[in-house]
C-alpha cells in the first residue's frame, strides 16, 4: 500500500513505441522456431494425425448409432447392451490398464504442502520468495513423478498429444517411451496451451491502464468486483483480473485493510464470474472442444447470478460493518480527499489485440475445421497467434503505461514455475481418477458438482473437468443430453469446476497472479490455509445453496 500522495500530473511526453525487451525477444524467438517447424511440416503432420483420429472416432460413433437404430448384427434388440468383441471401444477411449499406486500422488501432495507451508516457515520464507526457488522445488518433485514412470510403472500409458495412442512400457529396463508420453500429456497437451493463454492475456492487459483514485468505499469496491465478474465471461477470468486488479489496488492505496478485498476479488473475478461462455474459464473451453454448444453455458445464468450476487453482497456487508470502520480517521480523510477521476489508457492497440486473442482461442483449434472451410488449423497455431498478440502489444503499446502499471513478469513467472510442477505431479492422480471414475458411484448432478469441485480445488480445474466429463459421457442418460452428457450432470460438472476453483490459490491460474500482484503492491495477503478459511467460511454456504436450488 502506498501512503504518500500521488505525484502531480506532468505533461505527457510524445508517444514512442517502447522496445520489446527480453520478453519480446523470447516471444519473437519462439515464433521463429514455430515458423521453422512449419517449414519442416511438423505441425501439419500432427494436425493430420488429429484429423485421422477424429474420422476414426466418428466412424465408431456412426456404427454405434446404426446398431442403436436397427438392432445388433445378430438381430438382437437395439436396446440390449452389446457384449464381448461386439462392444467396440471408441477410438479415443482410455486403454484398460493398471493404474499407478496411490503413493505416486505423494510428490503432488508435497508440492501443495510446500506452497502452503514454506511462506509461513521463517527458515525458508525468504528463500521461497524467489521464483527460482519455486522452480527448483517444482522440478525436483516433477522429476520424482517421472522417475516412477521411468523405472517402476509397467503398464501401458494413454498418450493424448497430438492424438490418442497407447504407449507400451519397456519389457525390461527404463520405460523411456511411456515416460515421454506422460511428459507430453503434462507439458505439450496441457501446460503449453494453459500458460500461453495466461501469458498473452497478462501481457495485453498489462498495457491497458484504468487509472484514477476513487473513494475506496464498500460500494466502490463492490462495483469493481461486480464489473470484473461480468467481464470475466467475455474476456476470460485472466483478462478481467489483470485489467481490474491494479485500479482496484490504486483506489485502495490509502486504506490499511485491503487483503479481504483482494480475496473477494479472487472469488468472483478470477473464478465464479467466468461461467457464462467457454472463453470465460479453461474447463468450459475444453467442454466446447468436446462438442458442448458455444452458448449452452449461458443457460447457467441463474446460479451465476446467485453466486456472484451473494459474493458481492457478502463483501459489501463485511467491508461496511467490519473492515472499513477499522480504518483510521486520518486514512479515511486522505482517501476521501485525494481522489482523481477514472480514465482508460492503452486501449489502442490492446483492445483489438485482446479481441484477436479471444478469436484465436475460439477458432484456431486443430480438432475442428475453421468455420466455413474443411481446413484444420495446425497444431500450436493458436499458441503462436497468442505469442504474436503478446509481441505486438509490447512493440506497439505505450511503454509508459506499463511503467505506470508497475508491469513485470514476476507474477506470471511464479504461476509458470509452480504450475509446471503441478501439471507433471498431478498426472498419476488424474490417471487414477480416469481409470476409477466410474467406481466412485457418481450419478446425480449434485454428486458430480461436489466431486468435480473438490478436486478442482487442488488439481487444475481444466483436466479435472475433462475427466468427469468423460465419466458422465459413459453413463446412461435419463433426459436431454449435450455432447453425450445428460444436461443436469453437465451443469454440475461445469459449476463445480468453475466455482470451486476459487477454494484455493491453486484452483485456477489467475488466483496466484492476483495474489502476487497484490503482494508486490504492499498488500498483506492470507497464507494458503488462511485463504482457505475465507473460502470455506464465505463460499461453501453459497455453493451449498447453489447445489440445493439448481442441482
Give one DSSP letter per residue of 221-240, joined into a string: HHHHHHHHHHHHHHHHHHHH
254 domain-assigned: yes
User: What is the structure's pLDDT at 20?
Assistant: 64
- Whether the predicted model's global pTM rises above the 0.75 cut: yes
d(CA 222, CA 546): 21
Q: Which of 122, 101, 121 is nearest to 113 (CA)?
A: 121
341 occurs within a structural domain: yes
Between CA 243 and CA 259 the distance in angstroms is 18
Residue 79's pLDDT is what?
37
Output the pLDDT for position 61: 55
156 within a domain of the structure (yes/no): yes
Distance spanning both ends of the chain, measured CA to CA: 42
**pLDDT in single tens digits along all 551 residues of the chain:** 444 444 444 444 455 455 568 889 999 999 999 999 999 999 999 999 999 887 666 555 555 555 545 544 444 444 333 333 333 344 444 444 578 999 999 998 899 888 878 887 888 989 998 999 999 999 999 999 999 999 999 999 989 899 889 999 998 899 999 999 999 999 998 899 888 988 998 899 889 988 877 888 999 999 999 999 999 998 889 889 988 998 899 889 888 999 999 999 999 999 999 999 888 887 887 788 677 888 899 999 999 999 999 999 999 999 999 999 999 889 888 888 888 888 889 999 999 999 999 889 888 989 888 988 999 999 999 999 999 999 999 999 998 999 888 888 888 898 899 889 988 998 998 888 777 766 777 889 999 999 999 988 887 777 778 778 878 877 788 888 898 889 999 999 999 999 999 999 888 878 988 998 899 888 999 988 899 999 999 999 999 999 999 99
Q: Is the dihedral of CA 150, 153, 154, 160 positive or negative?
A: negative
Say if 392 falls within a structural domain: no
Segments forming the whole domain that contains residue 179: 92-346+398-550
User: Can you tell me the distance from the alpha carbon of 436 to that of 474, in angstroms, rounded to the nearest whole number?
Assistant: 13
* Dist CA 199 CA 177 (whole Å): 30
Does 259 map to a domain?
Answer: yes
Q: Looking at the domain assignment, is residue 544 inside a domain?
A: yes
Closest CA to 535 of 275, 260, 238, 325: 260
Does 306 fall in a domain? Answer: yes
The reply to whether 32 falls in a domain is no
Q: Kindly provide the residue ranges of all beta strands, DSSP E only, lying in 187-280, ordered along the sequence.
A: 209-213
Alpha helices in 75-130 (DSSP H): 106-117, 125-128
Q: C-alpha distances in angstroms, 465 versus 290, 341, 404, 447, 458?
A: 11, 42, 38, 14, 12
| pLDDT computed for residue 11 by the predictor | 45
What is the number of domains present in the chain?
1
Determine the Cα–Cα distance for residues 28 and 18; give it in Å rounded to an integer: 15
Q: SS3 for 14?
A: coil
Amino acid at each position: 500500500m502506498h501512503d504518500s500522495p500521488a505525484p502531480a500530473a506532468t505533461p505527457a511526453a510524445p508517444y514512442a513505441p517502447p522496445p520489446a525487451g527480453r520478453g519480446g525477444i523470447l516471444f519473437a524467438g519462439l515464433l521463429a522456431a514455430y515458423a521453422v517447424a512449419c517449414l519442416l511440416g511438423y505441425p501439419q503432420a500432427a494436425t493430420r494425425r488429429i484429423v485421422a483420429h477424429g474420422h476414426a472416432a466418428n466412424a465408431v460413433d456412426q456404427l454405434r448409432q446404426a446398431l442403436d437404430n436397427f438392432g445388433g448384427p445378430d438381430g438382437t434388440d437395439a436396446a440390449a447392451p452389446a457384449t464381448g468383441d461386439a462392444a467396440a471401444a471408441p477410438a479415443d477411449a482410455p486403454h484398460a490398464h493398471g493404474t499407478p499406486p496411490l503413493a505416486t500422488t505423494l510428490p503432488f501432495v508435497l508440492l501443495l504442502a510446500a506452497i502452503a507451508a514454506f511462506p509461513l516457515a521463517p527458515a525458508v520464507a525468504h528463500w521461497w520468495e524467489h521464483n527460482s526457488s519455486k522452480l527448483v522445488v517444482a522440478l525436483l518433485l516433477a522429476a520424482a513423478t517421472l522417475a516412477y514412470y521411468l523405472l517402476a510403472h509397467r503398464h501401458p500409458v494413454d498418450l493424448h498429444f497430438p492424438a490418442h495412442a497407447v504407449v507400451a512400457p519397456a519389457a525390461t529396463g527404463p520405460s523411456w517411451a511411456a515416460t515421454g508420453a506422460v511428459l507430453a500429456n503434462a507439458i505439450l497437451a496441457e501446460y503449453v496451451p494453459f500458460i500461453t493463454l495466461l501469458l498473452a492475456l497478462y501481457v495485453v492487459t498489462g498495457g491497458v491502464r484504468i487509472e484514477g483514485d476513487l473513494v475506496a468505499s464498500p460500494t466502490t469496491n463492490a462495483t469493481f468486483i461486480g464489473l470484473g465478474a461480468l467481464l470475466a465471461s467475455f474476456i476470460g477470468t485472466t483478462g478481467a483480473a489483470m485489467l481490474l486488479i491494479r485500479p482496484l489496488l490504486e483506489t485502495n492505496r490509502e486504506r490499511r485493510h485491503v487483503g479481504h478485498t483482494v480475496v473477494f476479488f479472487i472469488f468472483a473475478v478470477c473464478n465464479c464470474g467466468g461461467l457464462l461462455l467457454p472463453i470465460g474459464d479453461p474447463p468450459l473451453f475444453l467442454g466446447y472442444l468436446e462438442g458442448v454448444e458455444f452458448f449452452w453455458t449461458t443457460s447457467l445464468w441463474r446460479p451465476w447470478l446467485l453466486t456472484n450476487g451473494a459474493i458481492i453482497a457478502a463483501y459489501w456487508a463485511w467491508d461496511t460493518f467490519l473492515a472499513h470502520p477499522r480504518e483510521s480517521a486520518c486514512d479515511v480523510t486522505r482517501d476521501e480527499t485525494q481522489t482523481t477521476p477514472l480514465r482508460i489508457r492503452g486501449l489502442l492497440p490492446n483492445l483489438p489485440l485482446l479481441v484477436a486473442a479471444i478469436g484465436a482461442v475460439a477458432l484456431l483449434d486443430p480438432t475442428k475445421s475453421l468455420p466455413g472451410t474443411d481446413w484444420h488449423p495446425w497444431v500450436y497455431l493458436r499458441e503462436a497467434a497468442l505469442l504474436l498478440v503478446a509481441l505486438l502489444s509490447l512493440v506497439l503499446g505505450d511503454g509508459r503505461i506499463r511503467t505506470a502499471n508497475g508491469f513485470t513478469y514476476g507474477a506470471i513467472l511464479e504461476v509458470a514455475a509452480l504450475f509446471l510442477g503441478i501439471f507433471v505431479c498431478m498426472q498419476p492422480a488424474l490417471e487414477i481418477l480416469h481409470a476409477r471414475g466410474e467406481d466412485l458411484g457418481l450419478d446425480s448432478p449434485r454428486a458430480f458438482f461436489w466431486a468435480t469441485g473438490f478436486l478442482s480445488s487442488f488439481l487444475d480445474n481444466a483436466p479435472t473437468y475433462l475427466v468427469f466429463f468423460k465419466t458422465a459421457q459413459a453413463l446412461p442418460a435419463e433426459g436431454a443430453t449435450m455432447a453425450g452428457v445428460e444436461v443436469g450432470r453437465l451443469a454440475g460438472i461445469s459449476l463445480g469446476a468453475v466455482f470451486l476453483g476459487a477454494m484455493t490459490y491453486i484452483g485456477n491460474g489467475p488466483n496466484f497472479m492476483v495474489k502476487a500482484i497484490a503482494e508486490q503492491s504492499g498488500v498483506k495477503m492470507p497464507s494458503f490455509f488462511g485463504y482457505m478459511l475465507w473460502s470455506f467460511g464465505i463460499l461453501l454456504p453459497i455453493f451449498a445453496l447453489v447445489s440445493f436450488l439448481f442441482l
